[in-house]
Each structure stands twice: as C-alpha cells, then as structure tokens.
Chains A and B, each alone.
Chain A
Amino acid sequence: QLQLQESGPGLVKPSETLSLTCTVSGGSVNSDSYFWGWIRQPPGKGLEWLGSISYSGSTYSNPSLKSRVTTSLDASKKQFSLKLTSVTAADTAVYYCARALAVANAPVLFDYWGQGTLVTVSS
C-alpha cells in the first residue's frame, strides 16, 4: 500500500521560505505514469493545488503562486519537496503531499494523499 508522509517545520517566520518534504513508501517514484504534488488547505477554506513534478522533471505550478513555488524530486531517497518563498500569514495552512495519475504528461487526479502537516506563518 502506497504511503506518503509530509515532514518539515511547523512554524515559519514571515518573509522566509517554507520547505516541506514528502517521503514515499510502499511504492516507487521512478515512473512517468505519475506526478507528485502539493496541495494546501488554509483554516476554514478549501483545497488549493500548489504544484506537481514528474520523475522525468516535468513541472506544473499554480499560476497564482508560480513565481513562489518550486518542486523537486529525489528518486534515490523516494522523496519530493516543496519550497514556497516570501511567506505571509495567508500561507498558514495544512499542507498535503499526494500522488497524481499522469495523462498526456499532466497530473490529472490525485489518488493517494499524505495525512497533511500544519504550517503556521508567524513571527
């Protein structure tokens, strides 16, 4: 059974960079049949997709955050990561990592999710 687990600081200061890592177990990241992505949910709000990356390095990012979001993948460690720069209180959210099925080299739907990790932006 595929499992994903987010890790990283639970508290980040305003203007700094939020960095999270997702570790995959029970399966491989070495396939272009999938993308590996990040989604967040601010308190009281809905889900927001941040970005996704494939094994071969194809990436997609939310246009509203594109310049602030970077995703990367380390297949040797079975990990992928998110960096979100210049954070503000509005970036406080539960952050999820997830696997997406790839169709025509695009991440069309998430089929496995991590449990999520709360990141608070505060000084």
Chain B
Amino acid sequence: SYVLTQPPSVSVAPGKTAKFSCEGNNVESKSVNWFQRKPGQAPVLVIYYDSDRPSGIPERFSGSNSGNTATLTIDRVEVGDEADYYCQVWESEDHHMVFGGGTKLTVL
C-alpha cells in the first residue's frame, strides 16, 4: 500500500522558516493535504490540494508538491505554531486514505 514518510521532528527559532517534507512515490500525482494537531485538540486542516489555504489559516502557511516530495512551509514561525503536522492523501488505486507519520515542530 501507499506510504507517506515524514521526518519525526523539526526545530526552528521564532521568526524563522519551518519546512516539513512528506515523501511518497510520485506524490506529485496526488493531492496532498496537511493537518496541524496540538496536544488535546482536534486536528486542523491548514493546507489542502497541495497549496490551498482554508479560510482562517494565516498566509504564513503554504504548500507545494513536486516529484516525490510535498512540502509544508511556515514562515515567521511563532511559539503558537508548536504542534504535530501530518500530511495526507487519498490513494485512489486501492481506495485508501493515507496519513504520514507526522512531524513534531519545536519552536526553540
């Protein structure tokens, strides 16, 4: 079955840029969605269809998808952005929703 691979952790200083990778075989052929999950809270959709932002999500959040890697970028990182970030795709061949393992963002 299809697999999405994410690094376990990313650390960045406040005000800097954080990048999260999501690797999958030819992932550029799929639409990648990104979720933010803070402890004790429900996941929140921050990017959908590779690069679209839901209403209410700051412009600091952006996404891209090329080749075998999709990327979530957070510019001007804030302490409040500390969370786990998950990528997700719908695998249409075997009708299966796939999540990456998640990346924990630590703001130093």
Contact = CB atoms under 8 A, between A and B. Distances in A.
Interface of A: 37, 39, 46-49, 52, 60, 62-64, 96, 103-104, 106-111, 113-116
A116 B42 contact: yes
B97 interface: yes
B1 to A, nearest CB: 7
B14 interface: no
A114 B44 CA distance: 10
Nearest to B44: A113
A111 B42 CA distance: 11
Nearest to B4: A46
Interface of B: 1, 31, 33, 35, 37, 41-45, 48-49, 54, 86, 88, 90, 92, 94-102
B43 A96 contact: yes
The secondary structure that dominates the A interface is: strand
Contacts of B96: 49, 60, 62-63
Contacts of B92: 104, 106
27 contacts: A39-B99, A46-B86, A46-B101, A46-B102, A47-B88, A47-B99, A47-B102, A49-B96, A49-B98, A49-B99, A60-B95, A60-B97, A96-B43, A103-B90, A104-B92, A106-B95, A107-B90, A109-B33, A109-B48, A109-B90, A110-B35, A110-B45, A110-B88, A111-B54, A113-B44, A115-B41, A115-B42
